[in-house]
Amino acid sequence: MTLSLDQMLRIGPFGIVALANTTVTVNYTQKAATVFGHKSPVAILLRHGATLQAFSPDGAPMSKDDIEKLCPGTWHRVLLADD
């Protein structure tokens, strides 16, 4: 599992960003190669000013500790993202 922080989307005073799991699979034979990619959200972070909230894809609240266990430094990085 490779987690990455997507680019922040700005909607009025809100910043929305997804922490996503990305998987790339490569298969090959002597005649051809195939590459498949899959990306799915693990957490959605919603920033309003200095306030940050996080939710799982099903809408359940996630804590700062939950996010930091998944991807250390993410909480601070989203809070400090350029406006």
Average pLDDT over residues 19-47: 94
Look up tokens 């500790």; give the residue. 65
pLDDT band at 20 (very low <50, low <70, confident <90, very high): very high
The tokens for 30 are 């002597």
pTM of the model as a whole = 0.82
Q: How far is CA 11 from CA 35, 48, 66, in A?
A: 34, 10, 25
Average pLDDT over residues 24-33: 92
81 and 8 Cβ atoms separated by less than 8 Å? yes
43 and 54 Cβ atoms separated by less than 8 Å? yes
pLDDT at 19: 96
Going through the chain in order, the beta strands assigned E by DSSP cover: 2-5, 9-11, 14-28, 33-48, 51-55, 61-62
